[in-house]
Amino acid sequence: MEVSSDREYIYTSSELDKQEGQLIEEVKAGARETIPDPDAWLDEEVKRNIMLSSVDAVLNWARRSSLWTVICFPACCAFEFIAAEGPRFDMSRFGMEILRASPRRADLMITAGTLTWKMAPVVRRIYNQMPEPKWVIAMGACAISGGIFRSSYNVVPGYNKIIPVDVYVPGCPPRPEALIYGVQTLQKKIAKEHQILDLPQKLLKGNK
Ligand code: SF4
């Protein structure tokens, strides 16, 4: 069939465009406002009231901020420890003001002094009575290696021969500032520990 090229249209193309544009504008004018998100306020509340962290981070923060020291001062380094506890150096700034006579209420042992083999079983027993997790700071040359008494037949050449030591503070005796630095070092170490994962292993190792 032959199609005539002079076919007439009812509307011109510009009229059609105009009509279409008007239709779109009508639909737009009748469209509803976007419904606001009913939970939008939650975002702000979460930011203000919820802090996300790991269980380890919270436990480590609490533990490193409240180290309780068991009394175990067999020799002269103890006097520098006492000075560190006094008002001038004020070790309680680090949550360490509480000294415990009972090892069952302590989680830190600061070994301030020379240790003899005769006293070694007692110190080891005190350490074993401390609950997990627990830490040890070896304070002074005698605690680290036996110091000037190292070659003596009755001196233990370092507390690490009988119990695990976490931080060593050298000196004869170390000044209170050095001890405080040692405590801060221990706190940094505690902050990196994995209490939850490591606890069963520590308990298995136990108080051997
Ligand atoms: S390191 Fe020095 S001050 Fe400390 S217990 Fe030994 S001898 Fe005494």
What string of DSSP letters covers 9-55?
PSS-HHHHHHHHHHHHHHHHHHPPPPPPPTTHHHHHHHHHH-----H
The per-residue pLDDT for 125 is 92
Class of domain 55-205: alpha beta
Q: What is the pLDDT of residues 15-57, one digit of tens each?
A: 888 889 999 988 888 887 777 788 878 888 877 777 777 778 8
Pocket of ligand 1, beta carbon within 6 A: 75-77, 113-114, 140-142, 147-148, 172-173
Write the residue with the smallest CA distance to atom 6 of ligand 1. Answer: 142
What parts of the chain have a pLDDT lower than 50?
A: none
Ligand 1 atom 4, closest CA: 77
pLDDT, residue 92, reads 81
Could you tell me the residue ranges of all domains in the chain? Answer: 55-205
